[in-house]
Homo-oligomer: A and B are copies of this chain.
Amino acid sequence: MKTLRVPEATVTRMSIYSRFLERLDRNGMTTISSNEIADGVGVSPAQVRKDLAYFGEFGTRGVGYNVQTLLKYTLKILGLNQAWPLAIVGSGNLGQALSTSRGFNARGFRVACVFDYDAKRVGKRIGQLLVQPIAQFPELTRKENIRIGVIAVRNSLAQEVANIMVQSGVQSILNFAPITLRVPADMEIRNVDLSITLELLTFNVGLKAAQSL
């Protein structure tokens, strides 16, 4: 088997290209060059071509790329040629924001159910959905064939939720709790840690202040 080792940064950029192409397509644009893509998303043209080269040849020399075709390929590559129902655990502010978020209800993603530990929250409505008790997680996710779980609970519950997800056969986790979760190696897990991003900002602001002394 050919081991396709693709840098994570490349995948990230593929996602960005894909979204950019979606916009172009909506605007009726039919052809685009690596130069224009690069310009549009703020990377170098060589980077764009190199990234695409990991997955095949999608362009025509001297011409460029067909927007629709390339868009389709990027979606396929990212695994977005299928539906991805999501299960969110935690119906607090964050859970609610995510449930109704555009990013979580587009491009194949759809929040299919929301769970909570707190009996007071269970049964409440969020958009079209009713908040379910966490005890229902295994059954409901299996029934809906959910492969992505989102952790939006407080830190002290996060590991427990992760365990439930693992046991329920969810394959991948998006974790918003700022702690390092222990999961089996074959689970896909990503952490979204807003504090880290903020601290990257303060570090760089501090750096600039120091350099201007």
Chain A residues within 8 Å of B, Cβ to Cβ: 1, 4, 8, 11-12, 14-16, 18-20, 40-42, 77-80, 84, 92-94, 96-98, 100-104, 106-109, 147-148, 154, 171-172, 174, 178-180, 186, 188, 190, 192-208, 211
Q: In the assembly, how many copies of this chain are there?
A: 2
- Point out the residues of chain B lying under 8 angstroms from A14, CB to CB: 199, 203
Contact A174 B198 (CB under 8 A): yes
Nearest-neighbour CB distance to chain B for A206, whole angstroms, equals 4
Contact A108 B202 (CB under 8 A): yes
Closest chain B residue, CB of each to CB of A42: B180
Give 30 pairs: A residue, B residue, CB < 8 Å, sorted on A: A4-B207, A11-B203, A11-B204, A15-B193, A15-B196, A16-B193, A16-B196, A18-B199, A40-B180, A41-B180, A77-B203, A79-B203, A80-B199, A80-B202, A93-B93, A93-B100, A101-B194, A103-B194, A103-B195, A107-B195, A107-B199, A148-B198, A148-B201, A171-B205, A172-B201, A172-B202, A174-B198, A174-B201, A188-B208, A190-B201
Partner of A195, one of B19, B188, B198: B19
Contact B15 A204 (CB under 8 A): no
- Point out the residues of chain B lying under 8 angstroms from A101, CB to CB: 93-94, 194
